[in-house]
Amino acid sequence: MQNRYNSSQAQALISAVPEQPAALALRVYTSRLIGAEPGLVLHGGGNTSAKARVTTLLGEEMEVLFIKGSGWDLATIEPAGFPALDLGYLRKLRRLEALTDEEMVNQFRTHLRSAAAPDPSIETLVHAFLPHAFIDHTHADAIVTLTNLVDGEALLREALGPEIGILPFIMPGFPLAKEVARLYESRVSMDCIILMHHGIFTFADDAESAYAKMIDYVTRAENFIAEAVGKKPRPAARSAAKPDPAVLLPMLRGALALPDPTGQPRTMLLAVRHDADILAALDREDAEPLFTTGVLTPDHVIRTKNYPLFLDLQGTQGHEDIQARIGLRLTAYRERYDRYVTAQATAQRVTPTRLDPMPRVILVPGLGLVTAGATAKDAGIAADIASHTLRAKIQGAALGPYRELDEASIFAMEYWRLEQAKLGRTRPQSLSGKVALVTGGGGAMALGIGRQLLAAGARLFLSDIDPVRLGRVTGRLAGEFGPGRVDGLVMDVTDLDSVTGGLNRLVLTCGGLDILVPNAGVAHVARLEDLDAAAFVRVMAVNCTGTFTMIKAAVPIFRRQGTGGHIIINSSKNVFAPSPAFGAYSASKAAAHQLGKIAALELAEIGVRVNMINADAVFGDEAVDSGLWAVVGPDRMRARHLDPAGLKDYYRQRNLLKTEVLADHVGHAVVFFASNQTPTTGATLPVDGGIPEAFPR
């Protein structure tokens, strides 16, 4: 591992904010260096601190501890991510014989210098009780690899040297802080303490030295492991089944869904990692016993559960056989998890609110590593941790047998209130865990629909045949909602092979589909006697055939999931109130509308609801225009002698409510149907401000 400390960069951070303590600037700098190394920390793991003297409001000097705040990631941490606490007071807490977690947190909150500061790390007292100015703590892969081996302590001393301190696993909090301080004071020459099954602390009185010691000790461990791996012969491989992800992932996703309090399936999003190293690892003959051991560090248990599910599909024949194998393995996993919780709750005399028993990591030989999460971010975090865990267990196997942490400690961490707080307790949004696809993704209507689906918590895909227009809309939505929430699929809705390929890419990204919004549409202005036959066929192909191909390709996904779903067709006011010189558009939309009614009749048996939205006069904006109005607008303006603003006002005055209809209004209607707010299928909902001749009848 490379030491990336640069004195010029460090000094620049100090100079950038001269009014803040230099120690805080240096703490931010080396924390980011640590956070940038996935081999040291993953997704908010680890913590760092600095001690400094500050002047209070009364002009008095106070010694404070700057400690990483909960929810901050070391890779991107800012000074605000280091709440400052009264260090003198924290040190006095060591006099106590015991301190409950609740009171410990209370003492942290009541001795912060700012009431608005984030909650300090639960390991704050470790940093307070050690005397050093800078303390770095990570869950470095190479270190935890060694701590999880049967002869771990001896291997650690051989790899890192005899001067390190080593402690057995102790739950974070007051007892750990006292033990770390006691161990250090028994030999004050040590500059590194290893916690078995947990990680490493390095410390010094300057930021550069504390960081350098971290890099040095981890590099020693990496080199030690690499030497052992180089001497170990490669294990035998076997020929694994090659499951089709388009078939397996929706089945798996559906099987993982448990009912929510209303009885609706609580779906999760999947992430798949299938690089060559992962596939080779899962093809090992010893893959199942090697990889179904417990987590590297109990901090991972809230993200991945303690054990993965190993799903070997060798010998399965056909879809029903695969589904049965999934069901059997998941049932066994759930029963094991329930026995573990019952046994530990009884032994520890607690009555926990049980977490769901489903695995978060599924290892599928021939396919790869599959993870599940309430959000795409959660699934991605689990995948990152699981990928590192596979590699660490392979490397560790070159040195000796794996020794997982006892289940009592795992349970204590998994059901620890302070650890659960890392995940947050916000109420799930109405479409959390749902995957939505909106076609015609390069236009104004898709922008509004997509915005409301994202606001309701969905994972969004937009498709369009035009990559430039599609990129403009996905980029705008990503700017509003952040990365990782929206993706674009370039595909042609008139081509079933293109549609199937696009849906396969979607499934490989998130595992399945819950909400389909056929929205792609084109228009052509011509009276019937002047209507070119080729133009008529083109409009029918996009507006009608495009709706058909999307439904046809999506139904197998809905069936494999077995969790219901929604198809919400963006029809048009023209279905009931057509316009002259607009026959191709009106006929194609009416045909698509009728297809929706047929789909409602046919798909109710698998719980898929199909509804239609009849919108009218939805304009775009300067950045994202409406393809429909680009065709229709000029003719309508010429006929009525209006400019663009006048045309919008004309349509606003035409409806009963005298209101402008926006794409976001259509989006609200989509969310209404998609969030199961009413048991409705085959319905038509106008979003037009009130057009009497277009009232559904």
CATH of the domain at 191: 3.40.225.10
- Any domain includes 694: no
State whether 365 and 409 are in the same domain.
yes
Query: 6 is written with which tokens?
Result: 């640069």
CA distances from 619 to 70, 625, 632, 644 (A): 44, 7, 11, 10
pLDDT at 423: 60
- Do residues 402 and 550 both lie within one domain? no
Give the lowest-confidence range in 105-109, 120-124, 140-144, 237-241. Answer: 237-241
Share of the chain above pLDDT 90, in %: 86
Contact 635, 461 (CB under 8 A): no
SS3 660: coil
Same domain for 607 and 516, yes or no, is yes
Q: Are residues 341 and 444 in the same domain?
A: no
Q: Helices 444-455 & 467-481, crossing angle to 10 degrees?
A: 30
Reported as a single tens digit per residue, the pLDDT across 212-252 is 999 999 999 999 999 999 998 888 888 778 999 999 999 99
**Does position 98 have pLDDT exceeding 90, yes or no?**
yes
- Segment 656-673 shows an average pLDDT of 95
Same structural domain for residues 414 and 282? Answer: yes
Q: What is the 3-state secondary structure (H, E, C) of 198-262?
A: CEEEEEECCHHHHHHHHHHHHHHHHHHHHHHHHHCCCCCECCCCCCCHHHHHHHHHHHHCEECCC
Query: pLDDT value at position 237?
Result: 84
Residue 391 shares a structural domain with residue 492: no
Which pLDDT belongs to residue 288? Answer: 96
What is the arithmetic mean of pLDDT over 27-37?
A: 96
Whether residues 215 and 263 fall in one domain: no
What is the pLDDT at residue 693?
93
Kindly state whether residues 188 and 262 are assigned to the same domain. Answer: no
Please, what is the average pLDDT of the chain? Answer: 94
In this structure, are 398 and 339 located in the same domain?
yes
Does pLDDT of 420 surpass 80? no
pLDDT at 232: 87
Give the per-residue pLDDT at 656. 94
584 in a structural domain: yes
Q: How far apart are CA 652 and CA 578, in angstroms?
A: 18
**Cα gap 199→296, rounded to integer Å:** 9
Q: Is residue 278 part of a domain?
A: yes
Strands 515-517 and 565-570: parallel
Q: Does the annotation count 585 as an active-site position?
A: yes
* Average of per-residue pLDDT across 165-172: 96
* Residue 627 confidence (pLDDT): 64
Q: Which of 231, 265, 295 is the last residue in one of the domains?
A: 231
pLDDT reported for residue 422: 60
* Neighbour tally for 313: CB within 10 Å: 19
Paired tokens of 242? 């090659």
Mean pLDDT of 5-23: 93
Asked if pLDDT for residue 76 goes beyond 90, the answer is yes
Last residue of a domain, one of 231, 263, 282: 231
pLDDT digit string, tens, across residues 613-645:
999 888 767 667 666 656 666 666 676 667 777
Given a cut of 90, whether residue 147 has pLDDT beyond it is yes
Mark whether 280 and 170 lie in a shared domain: no
Which has more pLDDT, 102 or 651?
Answer: 102
Q: Say if 236 falls within a structural domain.
A: no
Structure tokens at 318: 């056909």
Q: Is residue 690 part of a domain?
A: no
| Structural domain includes residue 635 | no
- Here the tokens at position 189 are 């020459």
Q: What would the mean pLDDT of 185-199 be, rounded to a whole number?
A: 96
**Residue 675: which CATH number?**
3.40.50.720
Give yes or no for residue 44 having a pLDDT over 90: no
**How confident is the model over 274-299, as pLDDT tens digits?**
999 999 999 999 999 999 999 999 99
| Alpha carbons 562 and 559: distance in angstroms, whole number | 5
Q: Which domain holds residue 489?
A: 435-618+661-684
Domain endpoint, select from 202, 231, 260: 231
The one catalytic residue among 211, 307, 585, 651: 585
Q: Is residue 634 part of a domain?
A: no
CATH of the domain at 341: 3.40.225
Task: Tell me how many domains the chain contains.
Answer: 3
AA letter at 145: T
pLDDT digits (tens, 9 = 90+) for 478-503: 999 998 999 999 999 999 999 999 99
Residue range 553-596, pLDDT digits in tens? 999 999 999 999 999 999 999 999 998 988 999 999 999 999 99
pLDDT band at 657 (very low <50, low <70, confident <90, very high): very high
Does residue 503 share a domain with residue 417? no
Using CB atoms within 10 A of its CB, is residue 660 exposed (0-12), middle (13-18) or buried (19+)? middle
User: Does the residue 453 lie in any domain?
Assistant: yes
In 209-236, which positions are buried (b, 16+ CB within 10 angstroms) versus exposed (e)? bbbbbbbbbbebbbebbeebeeeeeebe
Same structural domain, 479 and 379: no
